[in-house]
A and B are shown apart, each in its own frame.
Chain A
């Protein structure tokens, strides 16, 4: 997952996933399960803790 090119991140319904839009040369949409056994989720939480990422609440 291209963490450096995350354009937006938001929780989905009941916070089951973090939905990210990834920009860059090959834009993709990514759903990251909110599960500590998922390495992408752990990385996103590190970025949040470091102040490098804000995850919007689910709507």
Chain B
């Protein structure tokens, strides 16, 4: 072994001259060099020890090594503390250990991207300010301190009434042709306009999971060449009072989301529209039915209308249409507000063109915001009461064969006799109601009470029995109406007894109050 040594003074290695370095070789191969600028170049390590073995030093903030981290691989067991911004590339920050390893952000510190530096802020008091959308599978906590839960639309969120199609006071099948509006399941109507097609509406028990009923439309007369101005539709009309919070017709108009379950024997792109009461503001929407005779869930978000007139009183606020067929002048571009009378969307499938085609609808929800939330399942009593503001028959779901009302005033004098009685309303109706009944003299039942399903009426004397019918007038002239209660009566017609106390009306009769929009 040869040794280059100096014992009592500096040892100088001098590569004299510009551009000359001091080089070290081993077995004729350079292993190190010091250039004239003093840079040291090694082909090995400094001390033959991997940097992973320097953890004890690297985790100390008292050494300059604290500024260094493994460039790739390895595991940091200590915490990472920085007094300035930390930029991470296309990578995740995760804890590979346990819930005790936390990602800490300084007071009022931000987590963000180079272009959105304040995407997430965690404040010193624990508040989180998020500028985007929070997506999670669950949120844990009692929520007791929540002051605003608009994002989840809790509470009374569904503007549609009887969206689950459970309430059916009229309880029948209606034929929808070109003559006016016909209500079927409560709050739901069908309409055909100047056209040759016919369909029926009825309540049905075919429904998706978590529902018991649906509204069923069946085409009974197909219209395969719909006139340009013709349309067929299922509709719910919303009272202005119930849509006032949407602020439609103002610059503060809120977006809404319509969600529903639909099943049809015909597939394709279907359409509908949202319109105002004056019928001069329309916004078509579309949805796709992919599989025949299969329940499918659909959602549509509609921007609030900042124009037009939208009723905010007991008048007609919003019409929501499901088109079963529309002519060329009744369809338009989805998602655009217009003053043209549009019932559907361009390119839509017309159910009415197929004879015997069926269309089921249920789980309808119309709520503020741009996201559909779970259907608001109200109690049966709540749904019924909401419906009874618009339509009421005391013969619906009464659990007996008849409704009975106390006679308020009675003069029994043959042709001079008269009678009035009051029909209590369970809720105040929207307005003064139309009163309809099917009572005629031929339907008078002498000496008994109407049995289940009978289209009959009779007079009763408490604890005494039944009275006859006298007078040359007709019970068919029974008239009246009301908003807070029904008051009805007639003249030249009365019980034969001056002491009759009740009128019994069989549940097979028509006896109803209508304040629909």
Contacts and interface: CB of A to CB of B under 8 A. Distances in A.
Nearest to B511: A28
A54 interface: no
27 contacts: A1-B514, A3-B179, A3-B180, A12-B479, A17-B481, A19-B479, A22-B436, A26-B510, A27-B440, A29-B436, A29-B437, A29-B439, A29-B477, A30-B435, A31-B434, A31-B479, A31-B481, A31-B488, A33-B434, A35-B431, A38-B515, A39-B181, A39-B516, A39-B517, A40-B434, A41-B434, A43-B180
Contact of B315 (A12, A35, A37): A37
Interface string A14-32: 0001010110001111111
B481 A28 contact: no
B436 A30 contact: yes
B314 interface: yes
Nearest to B316: A39
Given A1-B434, A1-B436, A3-B180, A29 B514 contact: no
Interface in B419-452: 430-440
B401 to A, nearest CB: 20
A39 B319 CA distance: 15
B479 A38 contact: no
B342 interface: no
B434 A30 contact: yes
What's the interface size class on A, roughly? 20 to 34
Contacts of A4: 179
Contacts of A31: 434-436, 479-481, 488
A21 B479 CA distance: 11
A26 B510 CA distance: 9
Contacts of B438: 26-29
Contacts of A41: 434
B478 interface: yes
A44 to B, nearest CB: 10
B476 interface: yes
A41 B440 CA distance: 24
